[in-house]
């Protein structure tokens, strides 16, 4: 029988603990989040914290990577949709739903939060997130190019410009969420943007 690690409660949920830690870093930054704050929020001892995650810097790095990959997963799922209108809808609406998970902590995008300027010495958050977002945009651009080839999007559309436009909307929705906009407000804004994109596509098809 495997024994439970000393100092760690039987009910220890690593994923939940990681979310709790991420929320603290989100609110207070890396330097402003003490080990005592982390152990109190996670309900574990300092030795258990180190046993589960390593150093505070390692915990921070894992929290950032975990949340960043959640955002990228939205793109992975969206580009598999059969129509470009559905692709763009999923990118924006699913992201809004992720940004507005107030029941899971601070609203907005963890990796785009201003507080992430205060990071550990072991992870360059800006460079890491920028690389992921470039990959997301490249994946979206490739899907838009496919839509143009297949006639699902007007041939007058510049795939790079459309992808950049969607990314700009994504960042704007994230910022609005962090400033307190509700999920309904963000969804309305996203759907309005999608309507404009659809009108652009329809107008181009008629030319």
Domains of the chain: 61-206 (1.10.357.10)
Element (H or E) spanning 31, and its range? helix 14-32
Contacting residues for 131 by C-beta, under 8 A, at least 6 apart: none
**Residue 72: Cβ within 10 Å count:** 15
What local confidence, expressed as pLDDT, does residue 6 receive? 46
Q: What stretches of the chain show up as alpha helix (H) in DSSP?
A: 14-32, 35-42, 46-53, 56-78, 84-99, 125-149, 159-178, 183-206
What local confidence, expressed as pLDDT, does residue 86 receive? 97
Residues found in the chain: 207
What local confidence, expressed as pLDDT, does residue 148 receive? 92
pLDDT tens digit at each of 207 positions of the chain = 444 444 444 467 888 888 888 888 888 888 889 999 999 988 899 999 999 999 999 999 898 888 888 889 999 999 999 999 999 999 999 999 998 886 655 667 777 665 466 778 888 877 888 898 899 999 999 999 999 999 999 878 899 999 999 999 999 999 898 888 999 999 999 999 999 988 877 765 665
User: ∠ CA 207-87-128 to the nearest 5 degrees?
Assistant: 120
Main-chain dihedrals φ then ψ at residue 29, nearest 5 degrees: 80, 175
Question: How far apart, in whole angstroms, are the C-alpha atoms of residue 112 and residue 181?
Answer: 16
């Amino acid at each position: 029988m495997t024994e439970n690690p000393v100092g760690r409660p039987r009910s220890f949920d690593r994923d939940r603990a990681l979310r709790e830690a991420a929320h603290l870093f989100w609110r207070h930054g890396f330097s402003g989040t003490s080990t005592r704050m982390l152990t109190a929020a996670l309900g574990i001892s300092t030795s258990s914290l180190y046993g589960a995650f390593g150093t505070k810097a390692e915990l921070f790095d894992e929290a950032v990577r975990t949340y960043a990959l959640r955002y990228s997963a939205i793109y992975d799922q969206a580009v598999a949709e059969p129509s470009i209108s559905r692709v763009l809808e999923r990118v924006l609406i699913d992201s809004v739903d992720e940004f507005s998970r107030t029941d899971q902590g601070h609203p907005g995008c963890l990796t785009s939060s201003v507080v992430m300027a205060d990071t550990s010495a072991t992870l360059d958050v800006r460079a890491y997130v920028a690389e992921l977002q470039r990959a997301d945009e490249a994946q979206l651009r490739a899907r838009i190019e496919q839509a143009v080839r297949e006639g699902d999007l007007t041939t007058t559309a510049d795939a790079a410009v459309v992808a950049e436009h969607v990314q700009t909307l994504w960042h704007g929705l994230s910022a609005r969420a962090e400033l307190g906009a509700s999920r309904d407000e963000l969804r309305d804004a996203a759907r309005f943007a999608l309507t404009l994109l659809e009108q652009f596509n329809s107008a181009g098809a008629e030319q």
